[in-house]
Amino acid sequence: MVLRGVDLDIAAGETIALVGRSGAGKSTLLKLINGLIVPDDGHVFVEGRDTREWDPFVLRRRIGYVLQEIGLFPHMTVGQNVGLVPGLLGWEPLRIASRVAEMLRLVGLDPKVYAGRPALELSGGQRQRVGVARALAADPPILLMDEPFGALDPVTRAELHREFRRIQAEVRKTVVIVTHDMAEAFALATRVGVLDAGVIAELDEPRQLARSTDPRVRPLLEPLLEARAVMP
Amino acid sequence: MTLLRFLAEHHDEVLRLLLQHVVLVGLSTAVAVAIGVPVGILAARRPRAGAPIVWLANVVQTIPSLAMFGFLLPLPLIGGLGARVAIFVLILYALLPIVRTTVAGVSGVDRTLVEAATALGMTPQQLLWQVELPLALPSIVAGIRVAAVIGVGTATIAAAVGAGGLGEYIFRGLSMVDPTVILAGAVPAAALALSVDGGLLLAERVMRSASPRRRALAGWTAAGLSACVIVAASSAFGSASGGDVIRVGSKNFTEQIILGEIVAQHLERRTGVSVQRRLNLGGTFICDRALRSGDIDVYVEYTGTADTAVFKDAVESDPARVLTRVREKYAQGGLTVLPPLGFDNTFAILVRGEDARTHGLRTIEDAARWTPSARAGFGYEFLQRADGYPGLSEKYGLRFAAPPRAMDLSLIYRALAERQVDLIAGDATSGLIEAYNLVMLQDNRRYFPPYDAVPVARSAMLLRVPAARAALEALAGRIPVDEMRRMNHAVDAGHADPAAVARAFLARLERERPSGG
């Protein structure tokens, strides 16, 4: 059993980050939300409806998903990757094209330059931007991000954090981010939950969580405090 | 240069055979793709169910193609002569590379991409068509290319079961010992293989190029090409479907092809019924199967061959007794043996003229003293048959320096002339005996049974077309051994067209025909 007795309410429009070490059950929790996994016991409600009752394909098209490996399709162009879910939803080609351009501009890529490029020709940071654009293309109310910036160098990551906050201010999605990096969680989320061995140890606003004395939370905070200690 | 001249002179026939070849390969590869790709996808999705399928395709691949034709000929529906059995065999051979590369291509797709596609809300069908198949395409096309190229090669064997194609030239050239004719089949086949390979590679590039318009264009082009192939199929294989037809068969060596032409042209002239030629079939076994299954109506067999190879009787050397025995046994199968044509194509034990002179060889008995220092080459049938090598060596006490080499009949005379072997078993009527200055040793102990040439026909056909019986009976005794040898020589050494040789013979026959007959 990966998760036990998890009781989690996520409000519309908030950004919640789930932090924990590898194997804590973070990714499983994400997959429960978009129906890639159905719980053995208990219920997951999305927009007030049990994921068992959703048509899984309809549900997933309403939920943006960004993976650490990104998973851009190498046989498609950047534009085709971004326009994929609108295509699944049966949008008109013209509407898809203008939406793709809009999304690329949103993540800071010039559509004239990038839309026609093979997805494989991009740098790591550019791919991650395209991954975000693809997740947002069909304007889903919910966005799930699984270690979205984990594979990037610190400078690019910091840049994408700023971009994310700008985009989130613009689009106001309900966002669930999974990460093992408390600094990233603090930088992006309105609330941060700590997952440990399949249980939510603590869930609070960053400011409150930073003062936690819980032995399951402290080790995750330590790198953050050390970094602050060496700062002038 | 001679090849170019040959191709120019026979361009109609070359084109027809090439077209048949394209149809054989195109149709079988298309069916193999239609079966193999879905099977491969299924096998990739469920490895446990897939493993036995791939294993089975592997096993099929290891069966030699000629053996496969042998297995399938007697089967109902699939079997029988012609394009049907050939296409079936070609499909079986094409399946393995296609199934295997489809499995490899689909199961080789990055799991992350499959997870991403699922998480974005693709249904399993969308996942297959939009992600898995496009990514597996290069691998699948590589398999199709391998299958098509193998198919072009294997299809040359299809001529042995009367399916046509460029193999007809290869077999004809081998039996006529004419490299030009062999090349006339082999060179276009090689060119076809290369262009099929290149064409498919090009098709894959176009499919991969992202533009949907070009993809649609490629789709329409492919559809147009397949339509052409189907039209070509009906014109290349389609023949008089309505009306009565007599099908004439023959085995795959010069004399048989000439005799097949003689019988065919004679029937055309005398009966007015349209005649279909299925000459150059792969041997006694295939001809006999074809005759019994009704794929051919008549072919010329030799009494001794029928007696020992078809009916497995003990060796018998009295010609009249053999003819009676064979006639009775054929009759039980609804087949009629017509009167002998006049020559006896017995086995000829042959040596080079100079060896005969140096060692004073006139009879096989003479040769028995010399053979311990000689090498022998025999055809596959001769090595196996009771009336072939085993009995011969016993009767004359023949011993050789090395075990006899098994050789293709069409190469055996040249092998003797070129000193690869020193003694062979050939046909008494072979034109190559004179061409290569060979000497036939006398069978002084009367070992070999008689091999009188007789037309064997389906009794039902003879009842249906009474004129056919009269026509075949009119050939009785009209082909003496020297006449047969001359005709063989004209084709083997003079490179004359067997049909032309047969035509000239029949014209002579008509002139000699008693007036008022």
pLDDT tens by residue, B165-194:
898 888 878 766 678 888 999 999 999 999
The domain at A1-62+141-232 falls in which architecture? Answer: 3-Layer(aba) Sandwich (3.40)
pTM (predicted TM-score): 0.67
**Nearest CA-CA distance, residue B123 and chain A, Å:** 7
Q: What are the mean pLDDT values of chain B's consecutive 10-residue runs (517 residues total)?
A: 84 87 91 92 84 81 77 65 80 90 91 91 91 91 92 87 83 76 91 91 76 66 72 56 78 90 94 88 85 90 89 84 92 92 90 93 92 90 80 90 84 89 90 85 87 93 90 93 89 86 92 60
Does pLDDT of A71 surpass 90? Answer: no
Domain ranges of chain A: 1-62+141-232, 76-140
pLDDT at B240: 39
Is residue B271 assigned to a domain? yes
Residue that wins the pLDDT comparison between A152 and A11: A11
Contacts of residue A71 in chain B, CB cutoff 8 Å? 110, 112-113, 115-117
Q: Are residues B323 and B419 in the same domain?
A: no
Contact list in B for residue A151 (CB cut-off 8 A) is none
Q: What is the pLDDT of residue B414?
A: 87
Same domain? For B206 and B76 the reply is yes
Q: How far is CA B276 from CA B10, B257, B265, B299, B497, in A?
A: 20, 13, 10, 12, 18
Query: Is the ipTM of this structure higher than 0.90?
Result: no
CB contact under 8 A, A61 and B210: no
Which structure tokens are listed for B483? 């006449």
User: Residues B147, B226: one domain?
Assistant: yes
The answer to whether position B150 is within a domain reads yes
Of B212, B237, B262, at which residue does a domain stop?
B237
**Which positions ≥6 away from B158 have C-beta within 8 Å?**
B24, B69, B83, B86, B89, B90, B164, B165, B167
Residues B46 and B158 in one domain: yes
Give the count of domains, chain B. 3
* Of B194, B209, B237, the domain-final residue: B237
- Is B517 within the bounds of a domain? no
- Residue B476: both structure tokens together: 């009785």
Of B110, B123, B131, the CB nearest to A57: B123
Which residues, 6 or more positions from B343, have their beta carbon under 8 angstroms from its beta carbon? B429, B452, B453, B479, B480, B481, B483, B484
Q: What is the pLDDT of residues A106-139, one digit of tens each?
A: 888 999 999 999 888 898 889 988 998 999 999 9
Task: Answer yes or no: do B120 and A88 touch at CB < 8 A.
Answer: yes
- Clarify whether residues B436 and B495 are in a common domain: no
Is residue B59 domain-shared with residue B43, that is, in the same domain?
Answer: yes
Instruction: Note whether B135 contacts A75, CB cutoff 8 Å.
Output: yes
Domain harbouring B406, CATH code: 3.40.190.120
- Which of B118, B120, B210 comes nearest A85 by C-beta? B120
CATH number at residue B301: 3.40.190.10
| End-to-end C-alpha distance for chain A, whole angstroms | 45
Instruction: Answer yes or no: do B64 and B51 share one domain.
Output: yes
User: Do the beta carbons of residue A119 and residue A81 sit within 8 Å?
Assistant: yes
The per-residue pLDDT for A232 is 63
Using the Cβ of A75 and the Cβ atoms of chain B, whether some distance falls under 8 Å is answered with yes
Residues B222 and B260 in one domain: no
Out of A61, A71, A80, the one facing B116 most closely (by C-beta) is A71
Q: Are residues B171 and B213 in the same domain?
A: yes
* Claim to verify: residue B481 and residue B402 sit in the same structural domain: no
User: Please, which residues bridge with residue B300 across strands?
Assistant: B455
Torsions phi, psi for B246 (to 5 deg):
-110, 125
In a domain, B446, yes or no: no
Count of CB atoms situated within 10 Å of the CB of A167: 21
In a domain, B110, yes or no: yes
Q: Which of B441, B470, B489 is the last residue of a domain?
A: B441
Domain that holds residue B77: 2-237
